[in-house]
């Protein structure tokens, strides 16, 4: 694990809450919930890079929820891969995201979260609006898994309100743009479509971004992620060999 859990998850890490939810046939669909018009509108205002970061943050909620009940190491690696992808999609090794079947109220939701991350990463380069719907499913999943979700709901509302001002265009608008015209190959790195990279600290509602250097925060995150091998990320050498301009896992590169 390269990244520590954020401060807002400290109480969840220490609570060791027992499992009260079900995960039998059909429970996964109940857990993913529905796409209300309000959620579609609010998450649709977040940039596609912001949606990727939101998915990584939601994955951290689930990892913190289950860290005392099951193996969350692979989920942690997926979360860190999604954080890196939110900065530059060329880092992520999407083809490696193949996850064994799992069942039960702990392993089942962990696998579901990993599959949602895979699907969002797959949708992201095409600027599909489906990424927003997948993130909504993740948010509903976290709410379903927590015996008391009030703290999560407060966090989620504050973060979703904060993100649109930090990175534009919105995912809703990006879905109508012509990637072939605007983006430089390979797809997945154009700020004109996917929005500016957002530091991980933006997902901590109590972190004062105005007093920080976002580029330095992003750089520090990438350095920490690259410090440990991750099967879901290309190494710095592999990224360079593929033609990555500048310094991989640094920001600005």
74 domain-assigned: yes
pLDDT tens-digit map of 142-189: 999 999 899 999 999 999 999 999 999 998 888 665 544 444 444 446
216 domain-assigned: yes
Q: What is d(CA 132, CA 146) in angstroms, rounded to the nearest whole number? A: 22
Quote the pLDDT of residue 124: 77
Instruction: Return the residue matching tokens 């193949």.
Output: 98
The mean pLDDT of 47-56, rounded to a whole number, is: 96
Q: 252 with 246: CB under 8 angstroms?
A: yes
Quote the pLDDT of residue 17: 80
The mean pLDDT of 16-37, rounded to a whole number, is: 88
Nearest-CA neighbor of 162 among 45, 28, 40, 18?
45
Question: Dihedrals φ, ψ of 147, to 5°?
Answer: -60, -35
Quote the pLDDT of residue 144: 95
Q: How many domains does the chain have?
A: 1
Domain that holds residue 100: 7-241
Residue 211, pLDDT > 70, answer: yes
2 domain-assigned: no
Quote the pLDDT of residue 18: 84
248 domain-assigned: no
70 domain-assigned: yes
Quote the pLDDT of residue 53: 98
251 domain-assigned: no
Adjacent-strand bridge partners of 92? 233
Q: 97 with 117: CB under 8 angstroms?
A: yes
Q: What is d(CA 54, CA 38) in angstroms, rounded to the nearest whole number? A: 17
Q: What is d(CA 214, CA 173) in angstroms, rounded to the nearest whole number? A: 24
What residues contact 59, with CB distance under 8 A and at least 6 apart?
75, 78, 79, 82, 113, 114, 117, 138
pLDDT tens-digit map of 78-133: 999 999 999 999 999 999 999 999 999 999 999 999 999 999 998 876 656 789 99
181 domain-assigned: yes
Nearest-CA neighbor of 104 among 66, 74, 64, 63?
66
Residue 24, pLDDT > 70, answer: yes
Quote the pLDDT of residue 128: 61
246 domain-assigned: no
């Amino acid at each position: 694990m390269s990244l520590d859990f954020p401060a807002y998850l400290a109480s969840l890490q220490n609570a060791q809450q027992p499992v009260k939810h079900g995960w039998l046939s059909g429970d996964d669909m109940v857990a993913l919930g529905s796409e209300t018009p309000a959620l579609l509108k609010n998450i649709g205002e977040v940039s596609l890079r912001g949606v990727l970061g939101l998915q990584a943050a939601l994955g951290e909620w689930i990892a913190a929820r289950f860290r005392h009940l099951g193996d969350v190491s692979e989920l942690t690696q997926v979360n860190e891969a999604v954080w890196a992808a939110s900065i530059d999609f060329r880092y992520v090794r999407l083809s490696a995201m193949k996850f064994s079947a799992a069942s039960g109220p702990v392993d089942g939701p962990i696998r579901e979260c990993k599959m949602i991350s895979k699907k969002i990463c797959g949708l992201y380069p095409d600027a599909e609006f489906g990424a927003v719907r997948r993130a909504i499913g993740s948010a509903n999943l976290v709410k379903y898994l927590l015996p008391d979700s009030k703290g999560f709901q407060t966090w989620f509302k504050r973060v979703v309100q904060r993100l649109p001002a930090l990175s534009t265009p919105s995912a809703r608008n990006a879905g109508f743009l012509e990637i072939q015209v605007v983006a430089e190959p390979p797809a997945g790195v154009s700020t004109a479509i996917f929005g500016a990279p957002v530091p991980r600290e933006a997902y901590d509602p109590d972190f004062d971004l105005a007093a920080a250097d976002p580029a330095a925060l992003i750089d520090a995150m990438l350095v920490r992620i690259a410090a440990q091998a991750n099967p879901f990320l290309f190494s710095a050498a592999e990224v360079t060999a593929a033609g990555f301009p500048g310094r991989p896992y640094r920001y600005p590169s």
